[in-house]
Amino acid sequence: MALKLVRRAGSANWYVRGTLLGQTVCRSTKESDLQHAKKRLQEIEADIRGQRDRTFKEIADAYVADGASARFVEPIVRRLGRVRARALRQDVIDAAAKKIYPKVASDTLNRQFYTPFIAIWNFATRKEWVHSRTWARPRKPRGGTLVRRASARAGTVPTSYERAAQFVAAMSPAPAMLMTALFDTGMRPIEALALDVESINMEQRWITLHSTKTGEPRGVPIHEFLVPLLSVLAAGDGAVFRSTKKRGYTPKSEGGGQLKTAILGARRRSGLVGISAYTARHSVSTQLVVNGVHPYIKDQILGHARDDMSRHYTHVPQRPLIEAINTLPVPALWREQPWMADPLKWMGRLVEGTGRRTDLGY
C-alpha cells in the first residue's frame, strides 16, 4: 500500500505508515502540524525512490546477469538505458519501440521489443525495484476488404512429425540432437541452446528452466524418446547440447543462436523449406491439440499459463504434463538415426554433402 499519514492515540505528532517500492515504513514525522507533516511525507517518499529508482540499463544488466536471455535487449538499452524506472510510461516505451523498429509488423514489434521489455520489468518487480503493472502491446491493424497476402515466415507454421523426421535426418548429428529435443519438449530454441545439465532431472523426466524469454521460470516434461539421448548428453558438466566442434552453443542477441547454417543445409538436402528451429514449438502445440490434450495442460508445457500458482513449484515434476508430452509421435525414421544409439561418438561428425572428409556417409 502507499505511504500515508496517521496519528497515534495520545501522540500529537503525525506518523508515516505504509509500503513503497517494497520498503515498509513506520516512522514519526516529528511534526504536529498537518501541512508540515505532509512535507515530511514527501521527503520520505523522495528518499526511498532515490535509493531504489534504478535506470533501465541497471535493471536490464541485472536481468541478463541473472541468466536470462539477452536477445533483443541491447537495442532497447541503447534507447532507454538512461531513463529512470519511475519515468517509464506507456507513451515513453511506445515511442522507443517505433524509433528502434519503425517499419516492422506488430508481431515482430511484440517479439523484439515488448516481450523482452516486459520480461525485464517483471524481473524488476520480483526484485521489488518497481511496481507491478500491465503494459499494453501493439495490436494487429484491422483489415478492410483488401486482403494482403504475404509469405509465411519460416517457423511460424507447424509441420507433421513425419516431415520433421525427414528434415532432422538431413542434419548433422549435433544440431539434429538439439532439434529432436525441440520437437519433443516444446522448448524455445533459445532455452534449449542455453540448457545446462543441472537443469535436468532424468529420473523424474523433468527439466527446470530458471530463466526464460518471459522472465518466468517453468518446468518442462521430458518425452520418453529423449531419455536415452539426454541421459548421455546430461551426464557431463556444462551445456547439454553442443555443436559439431563439441562446444556449447552461444545464444546471440540477434539471430537466436548458431543453427542457421545447419537449418539452411537441411533445407537444401531434404527439399523441405519453411522449417526452422521454431517450427518445433508450433508443431508441439498443434500436435497436443490434435491428441486431445487439455488446453490448460498444453499451455503449462509451453509456458503460456500466466496465472498458474504452480510456477512457484517449477522444479516439481507434474505427471499430467509428462503423460501429455508422451503422446507426441515418433516416426520410425527418427528412431533409426544412428546417432541416437551413441550420441557422443557421432556428435563431431558432419552429414554427407557438407564438403568435409568427416561426412557421415549415410
pLDDT tens track for 73-101 = 999 999 999 999 888 999 999 999 999 99
The CATH number of the domain holding residue 275 is: 1.10.443.10
pLDDT of residue 162: 96
pLDDT of residue 288: 95
Are residues 192 and 235 both part of a single domain? yes
Are residues 61 and 37 both part of a single domain? no
Are residues 177 and 306 both part of a single domain? yes
Classify residue 132: in a domain, yes or no.
Answer: no
pTM: 0.61
Are residues 113 and 32 both part of a single domain? no
Are residues 107 and 176 both part of a single domain? no
Among 121-125, 252-256, 268-272, 318-322, the minimum mean pLDDT is found in 252-256
DSSP 140: P
pLDDT-derived band at 357 (thresholds 50, 70, 90) equals: very low
pLDDT of residue 362: 41
**Cβ distance 251 to 190 under 8 Å?**
yes
Residues forming a β-bridge with 221: 206
pLDDT of residue 271: 93
Beta strand 218-221 with 206-209: parallel, antiparallel or unpaired?
antiparallel
The string of pLDDT tens digits covering residues 138-179 is 887 665 555 555 555 666 789 999 999 999 999 999 999 999
User: Of the residues 99, 126, 153, which one is the last residue of a structural domain?
Assistant: 126
Answer whether residue 214 shows pLDDT above 80: no
The identity of residue 340, as a single letter, is M
pLDDT of residue 253: 47
Are residues 339 and 284 both part of a single domain? yes
Residue 279 CB partners (closer than 8 Å, separation 6+): 154, 155, 157, 158, 159, 164
Distance CA 357, CA 20 (A): 65
pLDDT-derived band at 26 (thresholds 50, 70, 90) equals: confident
Answer whether residue 257 shows pLDDT above 60: no
pLDDT-derived band at 314 (thresholds 50, 70, 90) equals: low
Distance CA 140, CA 148 (A): 13
Residue 179 CB partners (closer than 8 Å, separation 6+): 164, 167, 168, 171, 259, 277, 280
Give just the sign of the alpha carbon dihedral 22, 24, 29, 32.
positive
pLDDT-derived band at 275 (thresholds 50, 70, 90) equals: very high
Are residues 15 and 60 both part of a single domain? no
Distances (CA, A) of 206 to 34, 192, 203, 319, 322: 59, 14, 8, 10, 8
Average confidence (pLDDT) over 232-249? 88
Are residues 186 and 295 both part of a single domain? yes
pLDDT of residue 267: 93
Average confidence (pLDDT) over 269-275? 91
The string of pLDDT tens digits covering residues 37-73 is 888 888 777 766 655 578 999 999 999 998 887 889 9
Among 116-120, 145-149, 270-274, 294-298, the minimum mean pLDDT is found in 145-149
Are residues 288 and 341 both part of a single domain? yes
Classify residue 351: in a domain, yes or no.
Answer: no
Distance CA 211, CA 256 (A): 15
What's the number of domains the chain is made of? Answer: 3
Are residues 230 and 120 both part of a single domain? no
**Cβ distance 343 to 233 under 8 Å?**
yes
Are residues 23 and 81 both part of a single domain? no
Comparing CA positions, the residue from 361, 315, 311 lying closest to residue 338 is 361
DSSP 112: I
Q: What is the mean pLDDT of the chain?
A: 84
User: Of the residues 101, 126, 151, which one is the last residue of a structural domain?
Assistant: 126
pLDDT of residue 128: 74
Residues forming a β-bridge with 201: 206
Are residues 324 and 260 both part of a single domain? yes
The string of pLDDT tens digits covering residues 182-195 is 999 999 998 898 89
What DSSP string runs through 223-249? -GGGHHHHHHHTSSSSBSSB-TTS-B-
Answer whether residue 312 shows pLDDT above 70: no
Q: Write out the residue range of the structural domain in which residue 70 sits.
A: 56-126
**Cβ distance 123 to 115 under 8 Å?**
no
